[in-house]
Amino acid sequence: MSSDFVVQLGHCQLQLLKGDITSIAVDAIVNAANSQLMGGGGVDGAIHRAGGPEIMRELDEIRGRIGRCEPGNAVVTGAGRLPARYVLHAVGPRYRDGEHGERELLASCYSSCLTMAADLDVKTISFPSISTGIYGYPIEEAGEIAVRTVTTWLSEHTDSIRTVKLVQFSESDHEVYRRHAQRLRGGLASAAPR
């Protein structure tokens, strides 16, 4: 699967892809997890099915130590049978009305995972669209938060992660992310020194 849209940020790249996140070879895959870290539907279920029972065994151990993972945070496990070394299980916010810190919590999911990945010496990482499924986050706002948070983080940490892949399963979600990345790329071009 090749990326059809790339934003170059120094030595780092933001790539947008449409497809199955479980089939993309990267150092780390981000999972849109629930607070109980119990697996579920959507991308969470797909990652657990593709990765196998080893991932849930590790999550059982983590749950035994910390109980639950609060929204905006993440935990790390091995990747089981996935084409990666790690899975970062990020817990996104449930969308209520946009007035309960949802924006900050969603941005924290992305930045926490990127910081965790850098600490693990990850060079390539893929993200699904976090909180836009059963958690009800509007895709338009979620896409803008994802693109902006990732590009800001990459521009501030140019010596660690080399490639971030934002992977959307549906064409309509992919188009939303593409639109936000195009706006951002246009802004970067107009801000470039002449």
**Residue 119 a catalytic site member:** no
**Residue 118: what pLDDT?**
97
How would you list the strands of the sheet with 12-18, edge to edge? 5-9, 12-18, 163-168, 124-127, 28-33, 86-91, 74-78
106 burial type by CB count under 10 A (0-12 exposed, 13-18 middle, 19+ buried): buried
Q: Is the separation of the CB atoms in 125 and 166 below 8 Å?
A: no
pTM equals 0.92
Question: Of 4, 20, 27, 44, which residue is the catalytic one?
Answer: 44
Q: Which residue type does 102 have? A: E
Report the distance separating Cα 73 and Cα 115, nearest Å.
Answer: 11
Provide block-wise average pLDDT over 10 residues at a time, the chain (194 residues).
76 94 98 95 96 98 97 98 98 94 97 98 98 96 97 91 96 94 70 37
12 burial type by CB count under 10 A (0-12 exposed, 13-18 middle, 19+ buried): buried
CATH 3.40.220.10 fits 5-191, yes or no: yes
**Residues pairing with 144 in the sheet:** none
